[in-house]
Amino acid sequence: MSTNGQPILFVLPAHAFRQEQYEAARAALEKRGLKVVVASTVPAGAIGSQGIAVNPEVLVDSVNPEEYAGVVLIGGHGASQYWYDHKLHEILRAHARAGKPIAAIDRAIVALGVAGLLQGRKVTGHISVFEKLSNFGADYTGSKLERDGNLLTAEGASAVSLFAEELAKTFSQN
């Protein structure tokens, strides 16, 4: 999928996002000349699992999905905040309707289920959310990485490199 010059939206939880997921995915995209825009729910900066602070360029509440080539949800313990963020669910559904890529890793994948996007879809994710994903009608494979149409999901820590590489391929295809 070509981005047509549109940036890719990265959503970070306000706290306890997995820094290695964020850093590897962002680096892989930027290495290919793709622009990333970071969104979060806090203007003061999202705090990573190892203490870095990342200031968002946009707040989730002000995101217009039409302005982005796709959306990436970064995981970690703080990703459970996604499960209750109705605006984020609207953003995810808008990207799904438009056929744009949606990617999530680790515990962040549950937000896709809450948004109604997992019924009958092959996904993977952190084992701790297996039951939740199954309850949303997802076909949980337990693989490190899973692609189902425009949906890309990854297990977590052991899949960081694979996830980053697949994101870069997805968004740099012509």
Report residue 3's pLDDT band, with 50, 70 and 90 as the boundaries.
Answer: confident
Domains and CATH numbers, the chain: 8-170 (3.40.50.880)
Better-scored residue on pLDDT, 56 or 174: 56
Tokens of 114: 């809450």
Average pLDDT, the chain: 96
Please tell me the predicted confidence (pLDDT) of residue 173: 78
Tokens of 92: 């995810």
Phi, psi of 171 (to 5 degrees): -85, -10
pLDDT tens digits along 86-96: 999 999 999 99
Check: pTM over 0.85? Answer yes or no: yes
Helix, strand or coil for residue 51?
Answer: coil
Query: Distance of alpha carbon 165 from its chain centroid, rounded?
Result: 14
* 50 Rama sector, left if φ>0, alpha if ψ -120 to 50, beta otherwise: alpha
Q: Which amino acid is at 19?
A: Q
